[in-house]
Every structure is written in structure tokens, then in C-alpha cells.
Amino acid sequence: MNPYIMALLLFGLGLGTTITFASSHWLLAWMGLEINTLAIIPLMAQHHHPRAVEATTKYFLTQATAAAMLLFASTTNAWLTGEWDIQQMSHPLPTTMITLALALKIGLAPMHSWMPEVLQGLDLTTGLILSTWQKLAPFALFLQIHPNNSAVLITLGLTSTLVGGWGGLNQTQLRKILAYSSIAHLGWMTLVLQFAPSLTLLALLTYFIMTFSAFLVFKLNKATTVNSLAISWAKTPILTSLSPLILLSLGGLPPLTGFLPKWLILQELAKQGLPLLATFAALTALLSLYFYLRLSYAMTLTMFPNNLAGSAPWRFHTPQLTLPLAISTATALLTLPLAPAAMALFAP
């Protein structure tokens, strides 16, 4: 792709998210979301592969549906209450409709079925943008609307953690596994959204760092299936030994960074008098942990049948930039000791 066009599209992505961040009026927020969607579509279809075009079409249709629903709900709210302000949502009907529209936009279960299919059709770089940057604007709106009905958010959150764990169990494609991992993480964030919005932000931040590391590892290894992970030891031995730790951090295993948001979210749910909910969420995290363990096993504990000539690639230097990966990997593995500082900053 022409670098000027690429720069323009990336600028459009940034602009759309910034407009949504800065808006207090529903029409402006909707406009930001639309700019965001329109900017990523050419990036998704840039390789002209039939799968990429199909994924782009599916993404466009779901995002257009969610945006139309959001616009309809905000118009209904203005009709019922005379308010266009995002923070003045008082009527339960438009609030619930907007919650569901935003859930469809980010891919919360049961509106999640587009997410694995779309991610599977994209290359890893665009998939990374879709899994991280594209979640920011809807979450900015989620944090501002203060839903009256907590049952909707709890149902969405629990269903997402369950579907995200269950859906990834049988997958062999890494991008689909990462999509289900994303659904499960978003479920955790949604569970605690109405009790401690600051914890949702913390969970979102740690999810970004860990997902960034995972995508970069797979990109460096040019791996798209579980089987292709088994030969990564010949390409990048040191990175292969670190990768299981990144995956286990995504699974939320102590003493890695991924444990921090889960720990604080479970603590907050218990504080709110919801021990059953916390127990169920913790059990669904075990499902996710299983498929991360599967990937770790495939990557480090199995030796792909290989000859002497096949073990040479590690001698060559990779032309790809490895500094972002080094920084994000260190952050994804070693920041649990900052838990007291995080609690002081993000505690409600």
C-alpha cells in the first residue's frame, strides 16, 4: 500500500477514536465511531485475498448495524428525555439499546460470532489493530453511560467469559484462538464495569500489552496455526522460551502481569456481595487457561521432526523490528509487583 494512503488511514483511525473520546454529544460520538470503521476497512482489504474481502464485508455489516442501532437509541433517548448528552442517560430503554449496540461493536457474547471469522481473514498486523485500538472508542462510551440495569452487563460479561473459554478449546488457528481470548478478556472487563470502572481501565490496559506481545510473537515467527508454532524453536530459540510465559500471562496465571486485573476484579466482585459470580468467572478462566497451555505445549514441549539443515534458520538475523516486542514482553511478564501502585491508582 502507498505510504501516504497508509498514513492517511492511520490518521483516520486516530482521529475517529479521538473524536469519540472528546465528545459529550451522541451524534459526535457516533461520527467518531463511523470514521474509525471507514478508516480500518481499506487496511483490512489491502491484500485483495478472497478471505480478507469476506472478513472486511462481515466487519462492515456488523459495525454498520451496531452504529445504526446506536444512532437509533440516542435519537430515542433525545425523544424521550430531550437530552443528547452522553452522561445524561436516564431512561432504561435507550440505555439498554446502546449497551447492546456497543457490545455488538466490540464483540461481546452473544453478539460475538463475527469476531473470530473476521480476525481469521486478516493478517496479524491488522488483526492486532482490530483486537486493541478498535476497542478503545466503544469502551470510552461504555464508561460514560452508567447503565441503570446491572443484570444486562453481568449477563454479557459472564456469557463472554464462558464463550471465550469454550470457543477456543477446539481451535487450531491462532487468530481464532486470539479472537476467543479477546472475547473472554472483554467479558472480565464488562463484569466489573458498573462496580469499579477504573478496574475496567486497568484490565483493558493489561489486555492491550499482553495481546500486543502475543501478536508480535506470532508475526515474528510467521505462525498462523498451532502446528506452525512447533518449528519456531529453530527460528527464534530465546523468544520461543519466553512465549509460553506471555501466553500464560494472557491466561491470568500468577506471578505474571495477567493475574493482576483478574485478582482485583474477583476481589471487587466479592466486596460487592457477589461471591457466586466471582467463583463462576474464575472457573471460566480455567477454560481459557487450557488452550493457552495447549499453545505453550505445542511451542516448547514438542519437537517438530527436523533434519540438521532445518535447524539453521536461527543463525540469520530477522529484518523485523524487535524493540517493541522486547518492551511489551517485559511489561507483560514482570509488572505484577506494581500491584500496590495499581491498587492505589485504580482502586474505586
Question: What is the predicted pLDDT for the residue at 345?
Answer: 82
Average pLDDT of span 132-149? 91
pLDDT-derived band at 313, boundaries 50, 70, 90: low
pLDDT at 314 over 70: no
State pLDDT tens for residues 4-20. Answer: 999 999 999 999 999 99
pLDDT at 98 over 90: yes
pLDDT at 239 over 60: yes
- Cα torsion 330, 336, 337, 338: sign: positive
H-helix or E-strand spanning residue 35: helix 26-44
Q: Judge whether 202 and 260 are in contact, CB under 8 Å.
A: yes
Alpha-carbon distance values, 90 to 78, 96, 215, 313 (Å): 11, 11, 40, 61
H-helix or E-strand spanning residue 332: helix 323-334
Question: What is the predicted pLDDT for the residue at 150?
Answer: 85
Question: What is the predicted pLDDT for the residue at 306?
Answer: 60
pLDDT-derived band at 45, boundaries 50, 70, 90: very high
Mind giving me the DSSP string for 247-275?
A: HHHHHT-TTSTTHHHHHHHHHHHHHTT-H
Determine the 3-state secondary structure of 210 from DSSP: helix
CA 69 – CA 26 distance, rounded (Å): 12
Q: How many helices (H) and strands (E) does the chain have?
A: 17, 0
State pLDDT tens for residues 107-131. Answer: 999 999 999 999 999 999 999 999 9
Q: Judge whether 204 and 189 are in contact, CB under 8 Å.
A: yes
What mean pLDDT value characterizes the chain? 92
Retrieve residue 13's grid coordinates: 483511525
What are residue 171's phi and psi, to 5 degrees? -85, 145
Q: Using CB atoms within 10 Å of the CB of residue 61, give its burial: 0 to 12 exposed, 13 to 18 middle, 19+ buried.
A: exposed
Average pLDDT of span 269-283? 95
pLDDT above 90 covers what percent of the chain? Answer: 79
Q: How many CB atoms lie within 10 A of CB 96?
A: 17
pLDDT-derived band at 311, boundaries 50, 70, 90: low
Question: What is the predicted pLDDT for the residue at 312?
Answer: 55
